[in-house]
């Protein structure tokens, strides 16, 4: 398989199944092998496993094709985020939403402590982003944001970033390439926590970056590759194999979870124990503001039997969590907000469990 060229000729559901397979020949395996080695014989394409592995190549081919560019797999989502933020020059200015994934937020705080500047803009304030970009070195976006589910006008903001020559990064973890392909909107880098929807089974920790197949994209991609190699945030071949296997079912998983999320958001509207439903209209994530205080939200999370009370998202199992239980979570996030990651269980079972938990408010 190739990458982008093949993805343009196949429906995405088909490409997910077909990408990253070995070349077909009599007796060839259907799946790539897990190559467990640290060392390679001299004078080949790879001399040491910190810089490459054939199992990585297969996953990177598939994800790169989905996003319309070239992918690199990293040891974790934070490894990918760290590599992307390393594109900011020392003392440079980052423009970012006022609420982001809290790991990203921690790195932005560290950037400020190191002498850099972070200009924070509300995710829906397009004019604010356009103004802030005038002095920016790097633009960081999430759409929707995690966990407030705010939506940014990516096309408008990215277009201006491109005009000004500002490097732009979009964390596409919540939308996945099925809903959004930021490179096609002008982004320089796409970031994923592969741990979440792409692998989809809560059994690996991985991240990825993707860049466009352009001269600028290749230059940025080489900087990301060098960061991965020098900082050692490399992925294990077995984890990457599992992520590629999970990627095969992304379409069917995401379709089912998204349909259930839309239905649950509808049922939650007007529920007496819910002050606000935060749902961007697509995807499989919903956040709710529980009526009452932090204790009320914690009681909801502690009272589910089917929903897993956990800090991750994007797995086949539905998960929920009060996000302000983490000290590093933004103060912009209400103390009574509960983030719901909708899985692939039957929606009526999910609703029954959630409804009885809300009765504890």
User: Which residue is catalytic, options 120, 160, 181, 196?
Assistant: 196
pLDDT at position 102 is 95
Per the annotation, the verdict on 197 as an active-site residue is no
Per the annotation, the verdict on 171 as an active-site residue is yes
Polymer length of the chain: 361
Give residue 142's region: left, alpha or beta (phi > 0; psi -120 to 50).
Answer: beta
User: Which residue is catalytic, options 21, 50, 162, 223?
Assistant: 50
Give the chain's mean pLDDT: 96
| Chain segment 335-355, per-residue pLDDT in tens | 999 999 999 999 999 999 999
Q: Which of 284, 294, 278, 296 is nearest to 341 (CA)?
A: 284
Residue limits of CATH 3.90.1150.10 in the chain: 250-358
User: Which residue is catalytic, options 98, 101, 150, 324?
Assistant: 101
Preceding omega of 147 cis (within 30 degrees of 0): yes
Residue limits of CATH 3.40.640.10 in the chain: 4-247
Q: Which of 196, 169, 198, 173 is nearest to 185 (CA)?
A: 169
pLDDT in tens, the chain (361 residues): 334 435 568 999 999 999 999 999 999 999 999 999 999 999 998 989 999 999 999 999 999 999 999 999 999 999 999 999 999 999 999 999 999 999 999 999 999 999 999 999 999 999 999 999 999 999 999 989 999 999 999 999 999 999 999 999 999 999 999 999 999 999 999 999 999 999 999 999 999 999 999 999 999 999 999 999 999 999 999 999 999 999 999 999 999 999 999 999 999 998 999 999 999 999 999 999 999 999 999 999 999 999 999 999 999 999 999 999 999 999 999 999 999 999 999 999 999 999 999 998 8
pLDDT at position 7 is 52
Question: How many whole angstroms separate alpha carbon 229 and alpha carbon 122?
Answer: 35
User: Which residue is catalytic, options 98, 150, 171, 188?
Assistant: 171
Contact, 82 vs 233, CB < 8 A?
A: yes
pLDDT at position 5 is 37
Structure-token pair, residue 243: 């992520």
pLDDT at position 8 is 60
Per the annotation, the verdict on 48 as an active-site residue is no
**Measured between alpha carbons, how far is residue 88 from residues 117, 138, 246 in Å?**
10, 6, 32
CATH number of this structure's domain 250-358 = 3.90.1150.10
pLDDT at position 9 is 84
Q: What is the percent of the chain with per-residue pLDDT over 70, rounded to a whole number?
A: 98
Phi, psi of 120 (to 5 degrees): -100, 130
254: CB partners within 8 A, 6+ apart: 176, 178, 197, 284
pLDDT at position 361 is 87
- Looking at domain 4-247, which of 3.40.640.10, 3.60.21.10, 1.10.3720.10, 3.40.50.720 is its CATH number? 3.40.640.10
pLDDT at position 310 is 97
Per the annotation, the verdict on 113 as an active-site residue is no
């Amino acid at each position: 398989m190739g990458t982008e060229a093949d993805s343009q000729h196949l429906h995405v559901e088909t490409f997910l199944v077909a990408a990253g397979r070995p070349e077909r020949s009599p007796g060839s395996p259907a799946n790539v092998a897990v190559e467990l080695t640290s060392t390679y014989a001299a004078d080949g394409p790879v001399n040491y496993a910190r810089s490459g592995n054939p199992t990585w190549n297969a996953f990177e081919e598939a994800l790169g094709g989905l996003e319309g560019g070239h992918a690199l797999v990293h040891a974790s989502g934070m490894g990918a985020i760290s590599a992307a933020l390393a594109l900011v020059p020392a003392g440079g200015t980052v423009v970012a939403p006022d609420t982001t994934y809290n790991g990203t937020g921690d790195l932005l705080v560290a950037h400020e402590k190191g002498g850099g500047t972070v200009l924070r803009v509300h995710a829906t304030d397009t004019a604010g982003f356009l103004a802030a970009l005038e002095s920016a070195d790097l633009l960081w976006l999430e759409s929707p944001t995690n966990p407030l589910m705010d939506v940014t006008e990516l096309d408008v903001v990215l277009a201006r970033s491109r005009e000004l020559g500002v490097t732009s990064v979009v964390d596409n973890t919540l939308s996945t390439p099925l809903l959004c392909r930021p490179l096609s909107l002008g982004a320089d880098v796409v970031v994923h926590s592969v741990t979440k929807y792409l692998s989809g089974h809560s059994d690996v920790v991985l991240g990825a970056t993707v860049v466009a197949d352009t001269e600028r994209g290749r230059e940025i991609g080489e900087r990301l590759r060098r960061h991965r190699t020098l900082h050692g945030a490399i992925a294990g071949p077995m984890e990457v194999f599992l992520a590629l296997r999970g990627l095969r079912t992304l379409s069917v998983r995401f379709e089912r979870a998204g349909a259930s999320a839309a239905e649950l958001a509808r049922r939650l509207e007007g529920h007496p124990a819910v002050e606000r439903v935060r749902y961007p209209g697509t995807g499989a994530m919903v956040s709710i503001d529980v009526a009452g205080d932090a204790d009320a939200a914690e009681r909801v999370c502690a009272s589910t039997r089917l929903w897993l009370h956990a800090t991750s998202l994007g797995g086949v199992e539905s998960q929920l969590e009060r996000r302000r239980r983490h000290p590093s979570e933004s103060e912009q996030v209400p103390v009574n907000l509960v983030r719901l990651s909708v899985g692939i269980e039957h929606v009526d079972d999910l609703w029954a469990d959630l409804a009885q938990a809300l009765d504890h408010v």
